[in-house]
Amino acid sequence: MEQVVENVLVNEAVVLTTKEKRQHCKDQALSRVGQMGINKLGSLMIVDEYNNSQDIWVRFKDGNMVNCTWGQFISGNVKNPYDRSVYGVGYVGEGEYKPSVNGKPTEMYKVWAAMLQRCYSHKFKEKHPTYKDCTVIDEWSNFQSFAKWYDENFYEIEGQRIHLDKDILIKGNKLYSPDTCVFVPQSINSLFVKRDKLRGNLPIGVKTCSRYANKYEVRCCNNEGKRIYIGRFDTPEDGFQAYKAYKEQLIKDIAEEYKECIPHTLYSAMITYTVEVTD
């Protein structure tokens, strides 16, 4: 005998009335508010507001609220802009600067991430030990802070790549910060690249002469990467003095050439730059 009822079984599923559906959603929302989870970066998150399975608000420990779906919450696939997701240090933060556009990282984000890699990637430091002990000022852990500085200080020179540099303004500096960093064209940056592995125990620019016993040969790279022969000397000290004179004058000449194109802080650092035997 068939009986028409509000609840019927269709393929073993209960069909609810509109009133029952509303009550079910209300009960479900009440039961899910307050539930806790962990996102993929290990941050605690709590369901603060549940409107429906496609519209929930999650609160993180730092108080930040993120809108997501119930499925994303259950899977832990909820991004908190304050999670230190880049090398365990950097976070995107909230603001006008986007880390990507149309799925591609922005140039300022790539520069920021590369800076963090140099300072906090153990694998990178194994290959590039000169970055040992390098750190980033805490305010630049926030991508928004770095991006603002980038936006205010970046410039372009036709035909040149522009690099972020931390130790031309202050020789030997190990801290990336607004006060110690400057953008530098590649042709200038190459003037300050050092090859410690090739030098051995001799002063910078000096090596033993393979053709003449007890003689020392001096060469210096110009801003185009070409090694310029300076001369042959009887002692490492004489060789270094010749290298020092050549290199300092070269840096001054390049500074004058680029004076109208580069920041004044960079120009001033180049004009007063001195080459030391310990470089």
- Whether residue 3 lies inside any domain: the answer is no
The whole-number average pLDDT for the span 45-74 is: 92
Same domain, 141 and 67: no
- Decide the pairing of beta strands 135-136 and 175-176: parallel
Tell whether the model's pLDDT for residue 82 goes beyond 80.
Answer: yes
**Least confident piece of the model among 32-41, 134-143, 206-215:** 206-215
Whose tokens are 């559906």? That residue is 21
How large a percentage of the chain has pLDDT more than 90? 72
Between CA 216 and CA 19 the distance in angstroms is: 94
pTM of the model: 0.80
Whose tokens are 């931390």? That residue is 166
Same domain, 177 and 201: no
Confidence of residue 8 (pLDDT cuts 50, 70, 90): very low
Domain boundary among 184, 202, 231: 184
Same domain, 27 and 40: yes
- Whether residue 92 lies inside any domain: the answer is no
pLDDT in tens, 220-240: 888 777 888 999 999 999 999
pLDDT in tens, 253-277: 999 999 999 999 999 999 999 999 8
Q: How high is the pLDDT of residue 144?
A: 98
Beta bridge partners of 104: 101
The whole-number average pLDDT for the span 67-84 is: 93
Between residues 210 and 147, which one has the greater pLDDT?
A: 147
Domain boundary among 59, 75, 91: 75
Same domain, 16 and 64: yes
Same domain, 150 and 193: no
Same domain, 153 and 176: yes
Same domain, 177 and 202: no
The whole-number average pLDDT for the span 133-147 is: 98
- Whether residue 28 lies inside any domain: the answer is yes
- Whether residue 82 lies inside any domain: the answer is no
- Whether residue 65 lies inside any domain: the answer is yes
Most confident of 31-35, 76-80, 146-150, 205-209: 146-150
Tell whether the model's pLDDT for residue 87 goes beyond 60.
Answer: yes
Same domain, 39 and 63: yes
| Count of structural domains, the chain | 3
Domain boundary among 157, 184, 211: 184
Mean pLDDT of the chain, nearest integer: 89
Q: How high is the pLDDT of residue 227?
A: 87
- Whether residue 85 lies inside any domain: the answer is no
pLDDT in tens, 168-210: 999 999 999 999 999 999 999 989 877 655 567 889 989 888 8
Tell whether the model's pLDDT for residue 17 goes beyond 80.
Answer: no
Distance of CA 268 to the CA centre of its chain: 26
- 73 burial class (0-12, 13-18, 19+ CB within 10 angstroms)? buried
Same domain, 264 and 195: yes
Q: How high is the pLDDT of residue 278?
A: 81
- Whether residue 94 lies inside any domain: the answer is no
- Whether residue 243 lies inside any domain: the answer is yes
User: Are the C-beta atoms of 113 and 147 separated by less than 8 Å?
Assistant: no
Supply the range of the domain harboring residue 251. Answer: 189-271
Between CA 218 and CA 161 the distance in angstroms is: 29
Q: How high is the pLDDT of residue 223?
A: 76
Q: How high is the pLDDT of residue 7?
A: 43
User: Are the C-beta atoms of 188 and 169 separated by less than 8 Å?
Assistant: no
Between CA 254 and CA 250 the distance in angstroms is: 6
